[in-house]
Each structure stands twice: as C-alpha cells, then as structure tokens.
Amino acid sequence: MIREAIKAASAAEAAELGKKGMVYLAGGTNINWAASRIDADRVVLLEGVLPKDINEKEGSIEIGALCTLTEIAENSLIPEALKLGAGFIPSRNIRNMATIGGNIAANRADSYVIPALLALKAEVETFEDGRMSVYDYVKNEKSSLILKVILPPFSGEIVVDRSVRSSAAYPTATVAVSISSGDCIIALGCMNDHVVRLEEVEKAVASGKLKTEADIFNAVHEKINPGDSLKETGSYRRYIASTLAAHSVRLCLGEEA
C-alpha cells in the first residue's frame, strides 16, 4: 500500500529519492498489481518529469520513458515488431497506463515488450549509468532511472509471437527473433525470472550450423528448463517455447515450416 508519494521536480531529484529507497511510479500498472513483488509504500511520481514523446533522430527512434504502450502501438515511427508486442496486452486500459520505461524497469518474465526490444537491439538512456542495451539492463537487474529508449536503425527480419490460453490469460511463452547481417537474436519470456536470450543457439543459427526446424527446436529445448506454473507443467511450457522459437527462426530465414 502506498503511504507516501512525492512529486519530483526533476529527473535528478527523482534519482536521488530512488537512492533513498523510494520506488518510481509512472503508470502504476505493476506497482498496483496484486501479485507484484515490489513493496511500494513510498513512491516518487514521475509524471511531468521524464519525456514521453517519440522522435526520429539521426536514423534512430527515441521514445520517452513515459510513453504509454498505446502510444507506441499506434505511432507510425515505431517498428511493427514493437507495435505488435505492445498490442499483445489485451486490456486497452492497461496499455493506456503502462509506460515503456516502467515495463523495462519492472523486468517481468512475461513482458510482451522486452523480447521485441531485445530483437531490435534497443538501448536505454539512464540517469545514473548513461546508455546501455536493454539486454544489459534486464540481464543485470539494473534499477537506474530510465529516461528514454533508443531504437537504432534495423535492417533484417523480425518475428514476435506468444502463446496464450485465452486473450486475458498470462502467456505460456513469449518470443522475439531477429536475423540481420549474419546476426541472430532469440529472446524468450516466461522461462526464467526475466526475459532471456539463447546466445549459443543464436550463434549456431547465424553460422548456419542450425538450419532445420527440428534442429533448432532441439537446441532451444536443451537450453531452457522452466518450472511448473499454476496452470501448466514446466515440460509443456518448454515444448511450447521451443516450438515458437524454432518456427520464428524459420520464418525469419524466409522459409515456412
């Protein structure tokens, strides 16, 4: 329960309050989620402090941290892969509140947005630590105040997908795959505490060592080992994620299974 809220006057003040243990509050969809693991009794309000516009700058797309997922899904500058990921969230009310900076900072394993950002090689600009890849931010469980998200120019193929039991259910698995200039990224959600990349499989695909969908499936299946969830066994989730990843790679390579 939120017992104290302070409206920061600047990003510097917000970051200073964050160092003192206060929690950043943007859209509030994660903090106010009943299953949230965040103890947010003292929060820093970020509205009006951080940018929320979307601009093109020197070929890159810059997205303010307070930009909502609805704004991302509906903006013509945003790559289709990220628009699709943002649009996967079934509730428009949630999309209208949830921010891209908050989505990354929450670092949830079932994020629809983070896999797409990893596939796009997106970066974040933070107040304390400067610029880094979204992958480094989530992998290292950073808590730096995110100011903006940067999407560098991308030329290649991207597939974003997920498996859900119903439109309102939490996903069984999320996936984003990109292949460009001999490079491959495979990002999977719902397999661990956070979205993960399968770097060894990526290298094998990029080098041409893995070509058939069956081989890709087996390689992915070997690298992941999700636990049981409330409604699904780990072996089922492992099979679904491996299938999604293998098929997505094949689509990026331009071949239907």
pLDDT, tens digit only, all 257 positions of the chain = 778 889 999 999 999 999 988 899 888 887 766 555 666 778 899 999 999 999 999 899 999 999 999 999 999 999 999 999 999 988 899 999 999 999 999 999 999 999 999 999 999 999 999 999 999 999 999 999 999 999 999 999 999 999 998 877 889 999 999 999 889 999 999 999 999 999 999 999 999 999 899 999 999 999 999 999 888 999 999 999 999 999 999 999 986 54
**Across the beta sheet with 23-25, what order do the strands follow?**
4-7, 42-45, 23-25
Asked whether the beta carbons of 244 and 175 are under 8 A apart, the reply is yes
pLDDT on residue 38:
66
Same domain, residue pair 121 and 229: no
Same domain, residue pair 100 and 212: no
Show the domain range for 106: 4-151
pLDDT on residue 212:
93
Nearest CA to 150 out of 82, 62, 67, 79 is that of 62
Q: What does the CA dihedral 217, 221, 226, 227 come to, rounded to 10 degrees?
A: 120
Decide: helix, strand or coil at residue 15: helix
The token pair that represents 32 in the structure block:
């106010």
Q: pTM for the whole thing?
A: 0.93
Where would I find the H helices in 79-187?
Answer: 80-87, 92-97, 100-106, 113-119, 134-139
Count, residues in the chain: 257
Beta carbons within 10 angstroms of residue 155's beta carbon:
6
Residues 170, 172, 177: CA angle, nearest 5 degrees = 110
**Residue that finishes a domain, picked among 151, 183, 215:** 151
Asked whether the beta carbons of 175 and 160 are under 8 A apart, the reply is yes
The 3 state secondary structure assigned to 211-229 is: CCHHHHHHHHHHHCCCCCC
**Residue that finishes a domain, picked among 151, 166, 192:** 151
Inside any domain, residue 257: no
pLDDT on residue 95:
93
Same domain, residue pair 99 and 180: no
- Considering Cα of 69, then 75, then 77, then 81, what sign does the dihedral take? positive
Same domain, residue pair 87 and 107: yes
Please give the tally of structural domains in the chain: 2
Inside any domain, residue 49: yes
Same domain, residue pair 230 and 198: yes
pLDDT on residue 257:
44
Task: Name 113's Cβ contacts closer than 8 Å, sequence gap at least 6.
Answer: 69, 82, 85, 86, 100, 103, 104
Inside any domain, residue 200: yes
